[in-house]
Amino acid sequence: MLNIQNLHVTTEGKDILKGINLLIKPGEVHAIMGPNGAGKTTLAMSLMGNPNYQFKMQNAKFKINDKNMFKLTPEERARAGLFVSFQHPVSVIGVSVLAFLRTAYKALHPQKPIKLSEFKETVKKSLLQVGLPEDFMQRSINEGFSGGEKKRMEIVQLLVLKPRYAILDEIDSGLDIDSLRIIAKAVAKIVKKQKMGILLITHYQRILHYLKPDFVHVLKEGKIAASDGMALVTKIERKGYATI
Ligand code: ADP
Ligand code: MG
């Protein structure tokens, strides 16, 4: 399982996260909601090992299957099974989607080599699954992609790279309702099939109707202010975050 205890994170000398506890088991979907600036993206970035964020180590724990993540580089964390999608994915001109995915796959799964032809099939299937045409595999990553296409590309990475735990930062923002359904269904399917654990950062209940989280947490001013099931989402939709 993914185990976070007493996580404090600072950036630019500012305390952002002030004691986060989370336990995510394989196959569980946890949603994190919360007002702008609460620290949701900081949580995602710091867990992946972004050097702009510093942990306070006193009594803190961050483990995947009993392996301490704090000491690992981002690529070692990825190899341990962690995946983080970007809220604002970057373009990489001159690196094709296929080349990027192939390189990442080889680095993450050295013990499971796949032939190029077979790998291309997997990428094609994953593209089609999120509603992108197969010729996207030859395009530069995110170069000239629309906002929605970039979000879909994050999910293609998830489908191809098959991490144990994925943190998805606002993958539903800026998506139309049909795209949203397609993406949510693709994630729900892989969660079930691979027993992937998901931490889904979102502002909207819509995606949660498709993805059906086991737990919903509200992050407020760097702390988890409430945790419950879908009932909490209904409450937030009705009353906002003020009363949480
Ligand atoms: P959320 O994703 O919940 O909207 P963020 O984690 O992006 O919130 O931001 C939380 C707070 O941390 C905000 O006040 C933001 O300005 C601040 N913050 C995040 N990253 C940095 C940074 N690199 N430098 C300075 N402040 C930052
Ligand atoms: Mg954010």
Residues in the chain: 244
Closest CA to 227 of 29, 4, 30: 30
C-alpha gyration radius of the chain: 18
Question: With 90 as the cut, is the pLDDT of residue 243 above it?
Answer: no
Is the C-beta atom of 52 inside 6 A of ligand 1? Answer: yes
Q: Which atom of ligand 1 is nearest to the CA of 44?
A: 6
Q: Are 86 and 145 in contact (CB under 8 A)?
A: no
149 plus 181 within the same structural domain:
yes
Residue 184, in any domain of the structure: yes
98 plus 166 within the same structural domain:
yes
For residue range 152-196, what is the model confidence (pLDDT) as tens digits? 999 999 999 999 999 999 999 888 999 999 999 999 999 999 999
For residue range 30-89, what is the model confidence (pLDDT) as tens digits? 999 999 999 999 999 999 999 999 999 889 999 999 999 999 999 999 999 999 999 889
What contacts 235, CB < 8 A, 6 or more positions away? 243, 244
CB atoms within 10 A of CB 145: 19
- Mean pLDDT along residues 198-208: 94
25 plus 3 within the same structural domain:
yes
DSSP state of 75: H
67 plus 136 within the same structural domain:
no
Taking the centre of ligand 2 as the mean of its atom positions, its distance from the CA of residue 117, in whole angstroms, is 37
Taking the centre of ligand 2 as the mean of its atom positions, its distance from the CA of residue 156, in whole angstroms, is 21
Residue 190, in any domain of the structure: yes
Is the C-beta atom of 41 inside 6 A of ligand 1? Answer: yes
Domain residue limits at 94: 89-196
Residue 118, in any domain of the structure: yes
94 plus 161 within the same structural domain:
yes
111 plus 134 within the same structural domain:
yes
Domain end, chosen from 175, 196, 217, is at: 196
The overall pTM is greater than 0.85: yes
Residue 210, in any domain of the structure: no
In sequence order, the β-bridge partners of residue 55 are 9
- Mean pLDDT along residues 126-153: 95
Question: With 90 as the cut, is the pLDDT of residue 211 above it?
Answer: yes
Residue 43, in any domain of the structure: no
